[in-house]
Amino acid sequence: MSTETEVRTGVYEGMFLANQAAAASFGDLIAHINSLFERANAEVISMKKWDERRLAFEIDKQKRGVYILTYFKCPTDMIGHLERDVQISDQLLRLLVTSADHLTAEEIASFDDRTGLETEAKLRAQQGDAQENAASSKVRLGAVETQAAPEAPAPEATPEAAVEAPAEDAAETTES
């Protein structure tokens, strides 16, 4: 007789809701989600950014959020641990896990956009670096300067134009 128990695994769909601050460092957010899956002994089948939108109601004083859709294989007894890790996380607001038994492997694979996530993470990092460099290049010492709106150049009036106009008017009045 064997005393080993068989570990039941299932295929699950997980919808992560991340706050806007975490979405600013998108690469770190994806790495954090992957680390949560590693802690739960889960294998990620597919992952993609689902949407970035305004929330129906505020969650932890957050009005907007980023949704990450994942499909993964995980031992059934580790789902509770994954949900607890999300509740503890500062970057993630919510997690909804449902069974994905109704989907075929091809359908799940069609949702995979991990390369798109990596590309978006790189682009966001480059934009953040560019904004940081632009902000650091403006060194201010002392009082804060206020920038006035640039004034439109006034049309220059030449003295000849001002002198010629009355002369023409005078010529017209003498001819009539």
Does some domain include residue 61?
yes
CATH number at residue 70: 3.30.70.60
pTM attached to this predicted model: 0.68
Divide the 176 residues of the chain into consecutive groups of 10 and give the mean pLDDT of each group: 75 94 87 94 93 89 92 94 94 94 90 87 81 66 59 56 51 50
The pLDDT of residue 36: 95
Does some domain include residue 113?
yes
The pLDDT of residue 25: 86
Which residues lie closer than 8 Å to 69 by C-beta, 6 or more apart? Answer: 13, 14, 15, 47, 48, 49, 50, 111
Does some domain include residue 143?
no
* Helix, strand, or coil (residue 151): coil
Whole-angstrom CA distances from 126 to 50, 118, 129 are 22, 12, 5
Does some domain include residue 154?
no
Does some domain include residue 134?
no
Residue 69 — left, alpha, or beta (φ > 0 → left; ψ -120 to 50 → alpha)? beta
The pLDDT of residue 128: 75
The pLDDT of residue 135: 67
* Helix, strand, or coil (residue 3): coil
C-alpha closest to that of 78 among 28, 104, 46, 43: 43
Task: Work out how many domains the chain is built from and give that number.
Answer: 1
Domain with 44, as residue range(s), is 9-126
The pLDDT of residue 176: 45
Length of the chain: 176
Does some domain include residue 152?
no
Does some domain include residue 174?
no
The DSSP bridge partners found for residue 65 are 19, 53
Does some domain include residue 56?
yes
